[in-house]
Chains A and B, each alone.
Chain A
Amino acid sequence: MALLEAKRITAGYGETEILHRVFVKVNEGEIVSIVGPNGAGKSTLLKTILGLLKPREGKVILEAEDITGLDPDRIVRKGICYVPQTDNVFASLTVEENLEMGAFIRKDNYQNRIQEIYTIFPDLEERRKDRAGKLSGGQRQMVAIGRALMLEPKIILLDEPSASLAPKLVRLIFQKISEINRSGVGILMVEQNIREALRIADQAYVLAMGRNRFHDTGQALLNNQEVGKLYLGD
Chain B
Amino acid sequence: MVIYGLISGSIITLGAVGLSLTYGILNFANFAHGDIMTLGAFLALICLTLMQALRIPATTFGALSFGLPMVLALMMAMVLTGGVAILIDRILYRRLRKSGRIVLLIASVGVAFGLRNVIQFIWGPLPQYYSAEIQLARKIPLLGIRIKPDQIFIIGLAAFLVGMLHLFLQKTKTGKAMRAASDNIELARVSGINIDRVILYTWIIGAALAAAAGILGGLENKFITPNSGWEMLLPIFAAVILGGIGSPYGAIAGGMIIGLSEEISTAFISTAYKPAVPFVIMVAVLLIKPRGLFGGK
Indicate the member of B182, B184, B186, B188 with the most A CB atoms within 10 Å. Answer: B184
Residue of A nearest to B296 (CB): A92
Q: A90–B179 contact, CB under 8 A?
A: yes
Q: Which of A57-65, A98-106, A195-203 contacts B (4 or more CB under 8 A)?
A: A98-106
Q: Which of A10-18, A71-79, A168-176 contacts B (4 or more CB under 8 A)?
A: A71-79
Residue in A89, A92, A93, A104 whose beta carbon sits within 8 Å of that of B192 in the complex:
A104
Residue of B nearest to A98 (CB): B180
Interface size on A, residues (CB 8 A): 26
Interface mask (B151-183 → A, CB under 8 Å = 1, otherwise 0) = 000000000000000000000010011011011
How far does the Cβ of A114 sit from chain B's closest Cβ, in whole Å?
Answer: 14
Q: A93–B176 contact, CB under 8 A?
A: yes
Q: Which of A34-42, A80-88, A119-127, A225-233 contacts B (4 or more CB under 8 A)?
A: A80-88
How far does the Cβ of B40 sit from chain A's closest Cβ, in whole Å?
Answer: 28
Interface mask (B182-201 → A, CB under 8 Å = 1, otherwise 0) = 11101111111111000000
Residue of B nearest to A102 (CB): B191
Beyond A84-B187, A88-B187, whether A104 also contacts B193 by CB under 8 A is yes
Q: Is the interface of B mostly helix, strand, loop or mixed?
A: helix
Residue of A nearest to B249 (CB): A92
Interface size on B, residues (CB 8 A): 19
Q: A104–B190 contact, CB under 8 A?
A: no
A50 within 8 A of B: yes
Q: A97–B184 contact, CB under 8 A?
A: no
Among residues 193 to 220 in chain B, which have CB atoms less than 8 Å away from a CB atom of chain A? 193-195
Q: B183–A90 contact, CB under 8 A?
A: yes
**Which of chain A's residues have a CB closer than 8 A to the CB of B191?**
76, 81, 101-102, 104, 147-148
Residue numbers of B with Cβ under 8 A of A are 173, 176-177, 179-180, 182-184, 186-195, 247
Residue numbers of A with Cβ under 8 A of B are 50, 52, 72-73, 76-77, 81-82, 84, 87-93, 97-98, 100-102, 104-105, 147-148, 151
18 contacts between A and B (CB under 8 A): A73-B193, A73-B194, A77-B192, A81-B190, A82-B190, A87-B184, A87-B186, A87-B187, A88-B187, A89-B187, A90-B183, A91-B183, A93-B180, A93-B183, A100-B173, A101-B176, A104-B191, A105-B192
